[in-house]
Amino acid sequence: MKKEHVGIIGMSVMGRNLCLNLERNGYLVSIFNRSYKKSKKILVENPNKNILCFKNINEFISSIQKPRKIFLMIKSGNVTDKVINSILKYLDKEDIIIDLGNSYYKDTIRREKYLYNLGIKFIGAGISGGEMGALLGPSIMPGCKKSVYNIMKSIFINISAKYNDFPCVDYIGPNGSGHYLKMIHNGIEYGDMQIISESYYILKNLLKMSNVEISEIFNLWNKGELNSYLIEITRDIFLKKDDKGNYLIDFISDVAKNKGTGKWICKNALEIESPLSLITESVFFRYISSMKNERHFASKILIGSKNNFVCNNKDIFIEDLRRSLYFSKIISYAQGFYQLYIISKINKWNLNYINIAKIFRSGCIIRAKFLNKIIDAYKNNFKLKNLLLDKYFSEISCKYQNSLRNIVSTSILNGIPIPAFSSAISYYDSYRSNMLSSNLIQAQRDFFGSHKYERIDIKGSFHTNWK
């Protein structure tokens, strides 16, 4: 049978790996990159493969089988618009452009509308899994018209990661929803990384554990409820030595960078009024980490706690920490999935949370055993608003909350920054409260601005002359 012939624009590591993935799965792949040298190198490094490379964009487009399927694997932002505009004149109606970059979902919505009016089909597909994911199979989150997804479905399935043969790709929803989901994925990724880092810091600074001991703890944790890709790589990170034989982790700067997707999810949480405190703290923590000079200066002036921590029972403390990590992870996912619930309602996306959790189980950065619990939760109640209300998650929350309280209070007493852990317990305590302190906020608003308040005993809106 003749091989289906597709195209990719963008030959960075991700583009190259996706090209090899497509080729391995039986496709003939035309590649194009702004600098021809990069494309040529891929060809030279991968001889006898079904890859064609082009210097000229027109020839590249002409080589692809119609209706064309062209993947964009380029830096998201203005470049995406530029590349789309540069190829438009060579395209025919019914051709499909698939943007696999980390594009902002509102840009994706705009691009789909624009291209639709020109007769060109467009898919905004989030992909996760980094370089290895692109090569061996990523988790893919396509957002577009269902009919367009159906045209691409078999390719997506072939190149995606598999979880026990189950392909980690599914139709997410209309225009923009795929990239929105990728943004949520990345926020959850930030949250996971933050709570893991806070755990590490507690093991290091309160229990004074060595890198090898910390690695052993993560190794143990990876065998249980916390089993996940991020825990697994964390375990390995602590054992890595540099050329001089030193543990590398101790020589890595504590300035954490970011590419902006974390900022997007937090901005959107504020926009649609969805409480996303844990992930937002994780993003802020990266910003605080970047204030290296200021922190250095402040460290000479501001003192911390003088408490000298004494651990009475190391095993109990470590188990408290493990439970804190798992419980905080639940809170983070509860907040992330709640945001999906809100946006799905606003945009009428009709998101399927079971399928979403399913496609996260392999290929992507947040892949974890725990996702099966999320699947069960939504299977038990498809209309579940907040994961914490599911039987399994509520039982874990009730059982593990005291561990988190212990870890948070001990850390605070000892001056260890744990913004994500403490936001987790605060969210839990706020969410489970029938009555919050905000009656006072309402009274204050009415006092200074006649903003009115509601009463708990009588219906209506009231204003009081407070003086």
Q: How far is residue 196's CA from residue 186's CA, in Å, rounded to a whole number?
A: 15
For 243, the 3-state DSSP assignment is coil
Q: Which is nearer to ligand 6PG, 279 or 384 (CB)?
A: 279
Applying CB under 6 A, among 7, 10, 124, 129 the residue interacting with ligand 6PG is 129
Locate the DSSP E strands across 149-296: 162-163, 166-167
Instruction: Please give the torsion angle defined by the CA atoms of residues 390, 393, 398 and 399, in that order, rounded to the nearest 10 degrees.
Output: 150
The only residue of 76, 128, 215, 328 in contact with ligand 6PG, by rule CB under 6 A: 128
> Considering the rule CB under 6 A, would residue 130 count as an interface residue with ligand 6PG?
yes
**Residue 101 in contact with residue 93, Cβ under 8 Å?**
no
Shortest-Cβ-distance residue relative to ligand 6PG: 128
Shortest distance, position 17 Cβ to ligand 6PG, whole Å: 12
In Å, the largest CA–CA distance within the chain is 86
Cβ neighbours of 216 (radius 10 Å): 15
Closest CA to 205 of 308, 130, 108, 291: 308
Non-local CB neighbours of 296 within 8 Å, separated by 6+ positions: none
From the list 30-38, 125-133, 171-179, 349-357, the region that binds ligand 6PG by CB under 6 A is: 125-133
User: In the bound complex, what is the minimum distance in angstroms from residue 152's beta carbon to ligand 6PG?
Assistant: 20
Residue carrying the six token digits 């702004």: 34
Residue choice 30, 222, 261, 274 for contact with ligand 6PG (CB under 6 A):
261
259 part of the interface to ligand 6PG, by CB under 6 A? yes
Burial status of residue 251 (CB atoms within 10 A of its CB: 0-12, 13-18, 19 or more): exposed
99 vs 446, which CB is nearer to ligand 6PG?
99
Kindly identify the residues of this chain, within the stretch 329-368, that bind ligand 6PG according to CB under 6 A: 364-365
If one asks whether residue 187 binds ligand 6PG (CB under 6 A), the answer comes out as: no
Q: Rule CB under 6 A: is residue 9 a binding residue for ligand 6PG? A: no
Is residue 397 near ligand 6PG by the rule CB under 6 A?
no
Is residue 452 involved in binding ligand 6PG (CB under 6 A)?
no
125 binds ligand 6PG (CB under 6 A): no
Q: Which residues are catalytic?
A: 182, 189
Residue number with CB closer to ligand 6PG (77 or 130): 130
Count, residues near ligand 6PG per rule CB under 6 A: 13
Cis peptide before 47 (omega within 30 of 0): no
- Whole-angstrom distance, CA of residue 70 vs CA of residue 5: 10
Binders of ligand 6PG in range 45-104 (CB under 6 A)? 102
Binding residues for ligand 6PG (CB under 6 A): 102, 128-130, 186, 189, 257-259, 261-262, 364-365
